[in-house]
Amino acid sequence: MSDHAIELQGLRKTYAASGNDGPKEALKGVDLAIPRGSIFGLLGPNGAGKSTLINILAGLVTKTAGRVTIWGFDQDVNPRQSRAAIGVMPQELNLDPFFTPRGALEVQAGLYGVPKAQRRTEEILRLIGLEDKAEAYARSLSGGMRRRLLLGKALVHHPQILVLDEPTAGVDIELRQMLWANVRQLNAEGMTIILTTHYLEEAQEMCDEIAIINHGAVVVRDRTENLLARLDAKTLVIVPDEPAGPVTVPEGVECATRPDGALVFSYHRSQVTADAILEAVRAAGITIRDVATEEADLEDVFVALTSTKAA
Ligand code: ADP
Ligand code: MG
Range of the domain at 158: 4-228
Q: Is the residue at 288 inside a domain? A: yes
Cβ–Cβ under 8 Å, residues 114 and 120: no
Distance (Å) from CA 41 to ligand 1 centroid: 19
Q: What CATH number is given to the structural domain containing 203?
A: 3.40.50.300
Distance (Å) from CA 255 to ligand 2 centroid: 41
**Between β-strands 263-268 and 233-240, what pairing exists: parallel, antiparallel or unpaired?**
antiparallel
**What pTM did the predictor assign?**
0.79
Q: Both 159 and 22 in a single domain?
A: yes
Q: Is the residue at 305 inside a domain? A: no
Q: 228, 249, 284: which is the final residue of a domain?
A: 228
Q: What is the mean pLDDT of each run of 10 residues along the chain (311 residues)?
A: 88 94 95 97 91 94 97 96 94 82 96 94 94 91 90 95 89 86 94 88 87 92 81 83 84 88 86 89 91 72 62 39
Q: Both 116 and 177 in a single domain?
A: yes
User: Which residue's CA is the closest to the ligand 1 atom numbered 21?
Assistant: 15
Q: What CATH number is given to the structural domain containing 258?
A: 3.30.70
Say what the pLDDT of residue 309 is. Answer: 44
**Mutation test residue for ligand 1: of 11, 52, 88, 219, the one with most atoms within 8 Å of CB:** 52
Distance (Å) from CA 59 to ligand 1 centroid: 16
Q: Both 77 and 161 in a single domain?
A: yes
Say what the pLDDT of residue 1 is. Answer: 53
Q: Is the residue at 211 inside a domain? A: yes
Q: Which ligand 1 atom minimizes the distance to the CA of 49?
A: 6
Distance (Å) from CA 200 to ligand 2 centroid: 15
Indicate the SS3 state at residue 295: strand
Please give the Cα distance from 278 to 237 (Å, whole number).
10
Contact residues for 219 (Cβ-Cβ < 8 A; gap 6+): 212, 213, 305, 306
Q: Is the residue at 84 inside a domain? A: yes
Please give the Cα distance from 142 to 49 (Å, whole number).
29
Say what the pLDDT of residue 311 is. Answer: 39
> What residues line ligand 1, using a CB cutoff of 6 Å?
15, 24, 26, 44, 46-52
